[in-house]
Structure 1
């Protein structure tokens, strides 16, 4: 019987509030993108002016055979060079002061100043102009991805109407205390987690779950921050502080996700640190080695080829497009109601070959209904009243079903000294009698006998013992989620094995597994039993994603290669431990997460392959004197733009 978790006594540490400004900029950014639209264009007037000067000079030179007189051409091109490259030159100087010479800024500065030194003014300016334009596009793409993340912060309201002493006051949500009443007008966002105090209210929950269908709540039901009130003025009794709300935690997860790098990103960062000094050394060899093998040796010619080598070798297309691809993957997942806590978990999901799932709240709705009450020599109403008294303070779905069935009778008795017997049930004192409520293992633990036929019942059973005597049982049935079978079929189509672990009876687990087509199913498991099973599958070489929602699932979620939590009904401990959070509790989102991981990986590796292939080709052509500086810079900027557009494409993919 599924009694893994009867009470959530663990309150996790509140999420640290962060502001939009705290999302860090990448190290490569050196342009000012504070404005948007016309302001953004105006902020780049030096670069645009340099481009205009370059175009005019090229038209004069090649269109009208104009030959500018020295030093006029040097002055004009120097002005254009400084307008286009002052940011790059400044960054190169700042890094050089710290003895950091192996970076794209220093590389571009050396290449362009070198071009000026041999009289290739137009090419030197062109390299700097087009490199800066490429960086501009790269920065704009990265800023776009960051803005989509920052926009989530606008979901969180800046003010709330609180009811104090019968008067309404508008204050900061951070000042509201637990159990205070807040007022939410039609069209307003709920600022804090709580329970509905009004009779009914309808909310848009898309910000939290990605589900556009309105959700009607009734008095006493949970309302979460970020939901939008759709109909009338409603009152909500606050049950968590602003910093502890589920929305605040979701926002923190999204922000933190951009800081957790994938193995591919880490590899490229390390690669760039080794690659750049090697390129400098090779460029030096291209310039100097021919002295010993070619006669007559033309320094100007080989120095020019070395400059081409430096320009095309710039690693910025890789360094920028790869994290941009992962930003896109995280954004695509967020729009589909899935939160990845880091781009590294996008990579992990591509390697999963087994998905292990909890039953209650993951594959089933966790909405239990009492089916039958059977007692031994005791009045049923009294029996239910005693059982409900013990279960009243538990958050477990089974306990809630018993209390709901008891109705008003649940408040007639009070339980004392209630304790959870992990994986078994509850023990406490009601009206002076010691009461046990749980599974067969609980009664066996206290050496209490009960009819053997109870174990053969298919529905979930709550056994009740009073003063060490078996008193009867309550049968409870759960309902399978609508998309659970679809999720299992999709996983099988991806050649992924499915396993279900549950604390419920094996007969119940087998029934659910058969209905859904799950490969393997294990019941009667205590929390430590789940850990043993998952560890066993890992030891056998499986790459595992575990999906759960209860406090008792936190250890196995931490143990799995990818831990996934159901974020709607899931406990705070499980959501905090998980690597991936499914916000709308739909099992079908498991395959969506795997698809997004695979799409992201494919696009990232497409960028790596394209960038490296083009760079190697032009490096060879440049060293052989076939490619010049114009071709080098066009190839470099072109590769960067292709990679950026390919990475941005992730955010536009429709997974339906």
Structure 2
């Protein structure tokens, strides 16, 4: 597994086009063959390196102005069209404009557009997009990679110019170049997702050694050191909690909005955020071995693995190009032996015509345009496809795996049920609980206060005591009120009905003056159209629908039953989700994964099609995904 902290994680490699399929889509040099890894930008096609992007490391001795493409760089010769630059589509845009204007001048037979002006005009349009392809075709010959797509495109387009079909030559090369830029953008998008994940990792950590606090780089911390994590700080390394209980936001790892209260001795993971009190954590794993580092490495592995599929046009060119070139050569030479009035110039012209019409223009131009139409139609419905190939894969799907929180549910806590005890009014239960919970900053408490609303305004609350890991105790309108979990009532010897322990959702149990008063459930409600989405997936032929979540398994099973999903698994960390997805893929299933949190990024990358919820989704997941649902409606 690649080192996620490697210095070349952020290096701007351009690996969308490779001769060796194992090198296609590599995200760092560890994923390349030795020969490709030694190339300036990891490219195994001679003369096909690209200009470094704006995020690339500085290179001594050369630089590029914003938007400028270096046609003759001493360090990186050849096919250099800079997909990662500030404006990679500038030169293709200029070429397209020249082509369109030239076609208009041809159509209206404008007087000056004749003689040398016409070929010079189209020649400029061709050079802007075609020079580097021709250069790559020439420079790849010494390495033995002769019959490739670069030679095919070069011969066909130059042949078109040789017989005076200038617009055709420009158009074929223009569309081919734009297609290459799209492929490069896909690889660079994967690298941006890795950088987004890196930002979650803490850059410094406070360590207590010999009674002194030291601020260190997390890589310098040793197993057994004790970290101090202040309220609002990220935990830098995995460890176990010392001292007293503490609450943590675990969304970076589990995707769940509910904070977790950890007891002394329980595991605390890197990426969690300490919410309230100063916490001390004993380090149990080095920087490269934390769960968060493993998430990052899994994203690199999964994206690289999925990208390593050699493009059809490259395979096609290796067989088709030598056949076409051989037939064109025969068309020039063979008539010499069988035709009495053989004229070399005439047969050369016919061979060039053959090369032009043999260029797979339909493959290079019409197929992308057809897919662009499908992508455009999807975008009008709020669905963004990041590549035309995913339209094909979507048709083959038989399995859909979904996250729960933020994907099928709203991702926001709200009171779902109010269950007062016998003899207690619901309004009275809400008034007591809501008033006391105004003194807490816990998300569940905030959900209760939001539900009660104006009813608690002006209600006197005194002598409030927060009992860590249990709840609150205080005086509300003269009553001694307890509000928290069942452990709180047990602590104060308040009996409550046994069925309360069977409630799956997060629960706020209330007691007043030593007597059980009822409970409220707080949960994340399903989205309005979630059940309909499940029904429509089944109607469309999806044979397996699975819900995977980091939430409690009891809650996951309840939501799954409510939505009509027959298989669901809860209490999962990112690597657990990845194991389930890998298992389904190993069974030969075509699988889509739908998620929204940072913790979903590795699985989104691993699936045949990764789908992200665009509105609520994390940047890392949206960048890694192949399809983004911009409306957040499943």
The two structures have a TM-score, normalised by structure 2, of: 0.48
- Of Structure 1 and Structure 2, the greater helix share is in 1
**More relative contact order, 1 or 2 (CA 8 Å, 6+ apart):** 1
